[in-house]
Amino acid sequence: MVIQILLLCGLIIFSGLAILFKDLLKAALSLAVASLFLGIIFFRLNAPYAGVFEISVVAGLITVLFILTIALTKKEGEVEEAKLAKVVFPLFFILFLIIDGLVMKSLLQKVPSLPSGPEAGTFGEVLWKQRTFDLVAQIGVIFAGVLAVLALFRKKEDDKDE
């Protein structure tokens, strides 16, 4: 239980830092660490496939891409970090933990649940046999993302031609 809570805290802290850092490199690294925590949580929750994906793709591959891009574009010179952020965020975070603990403790005890059924096969089988529709939807999301990038990062010059 304690480990669980520590892992969750780490996830939230590093996610917050990823947003807060002005220095892109630090932000990207924080994100990677946050993903790492999430991956571990997945493992602990008996979801090894999700854990592997999270750590290899998000924490690994994407971070490499980020850092590469930042390295290619970054200008010289240090970025000033906001001082207030360093003080206020931890305070806010502690406050959040206290409230969260109070609320969730009383709520969690009230959540009943049915006994879960036997696991139906491997990850691939579950995805292919039972959640096929979700695959279609995933394809749709990827389409939408790619098309959005195509549309929003189109060249302005093209507009003038047409």
Partner 1 sequence: MTATTLLWPIVFPAAAAIILFLIPSRIKVVREVLAVLSSLVVLYLGFSLFSQKNLSLVTDWLGMGINFDLRLYHFSSFILLALSGFLFLICLYSAVKMKDHPRVREYYGYVFLAAAFSNGAVLANNFILLVFFWEALLITTYALITLGLKPTSHRTAVKSLIIGGFCDFSMILGIGLLWASTGTLTMDKIHVEPHGLAAAAFILMMIGAIGKAGAMPFHTWIPDAALDAPVSFMAFMPASFEKLLGIYLLARITLDFFELKVGSTLAIILMIIGAATIVLAVFMALIQKDFKKLLSFHAVSQVGYMILGIGTAIPIGIAGGIFHMINHAMYKCGLFLSAGSVEHRTGTTELKKLGGLSREMPWTALGFTVCALAISGVWPLNGFVSKEMVFHGALETGYPIFAIAAWVGAIFTFASFLKAGHSVFFGARSTDVPKTKESEAPIVLPILILAALCITFGVYNKLPLQTFIQPILEGHVEAGEHLDFTAHALSLFNPVAAVSILCLIIALGIHLYGWNRSGKKAYLASEPIHQLPGLRKLYDLSEARFFDLYEQGVKLLQWLSKVLFRFIDRPIDYLYEKVVTAVGRTFTGILQKAHNGQYANYLAWTIGGLVVVIWIILQLLK
Partner 2 sequence: MVFSFIVIPLLVAAFLPIIGKFSKKLVPDVLTNAALAFLLFNSILLVKPIFNQGTIVQNVNWFGEKVNLQVALDGFNLFMLFTISLVSLCISLFSIDYLEHYGHKANFYALLLVMIAGMNGLVLVPDLFSIYLFLEVAAVASYALVAFGLGYDELEASFKYLMLSVVASAFALLGITILFGMTGSLSFQAVAQGLQDLNARYVVGVCVAFFIMGFGLKAALVPFHAWLPDAHPSAPAPISAMLSGLLIKVSGVYALFRIIYSVIGMTPVLSQVLMALGTISMVVAALLALGQKDVKRMLAYSSISQVGYIVLGLALGTPLGIAGGLFHLFNHAVAKGLLFLNSGSIQHITGTRNLDELGGLGKRVPITAGTNLVGALSIAGVPPLAGFWSKLIIVIALIQAKQFGYALVAILASILTLWYYLLIQRKAFFGKISEKWLHIKEAPFWMSAANVILALICIFVGIFFTPVFKTWISPAAEALAKGIQQVLMWGI
CB of 6: closest distance to partner 2 in angstroms?
Answer: 22
Residues of this chain, 101-120, that bind partner 2 according to CB under 8 A: 107, 110-117
Using CB under 8 A as the binding rule, whether residue 92 contacts partner 1 is answered as yes
Specify the residue, 72 or 84, whose C-beta has the smaller distance to partner 1.
Answer: 84
- Structure-block tokens of residue 25: 């490199």
DSSP of 32-101: HHHHHHHHHHHHHTT-HHHHHHIIIIIIIIIHHHHHHHHHHHPPSSPPPPPHHHHHHHHHHHHHHHHHHH
Using CB under 8 A as the binding rule, whether residue 159 contacts partner 2 is answered as yes
Q: What residue ranges bind partner 2 (CB under 8 A)?
A: 107, 110-117, 128-134, 136-141, 143-145, 147-148, 150-152, 154, 156, 158-159, 161-162
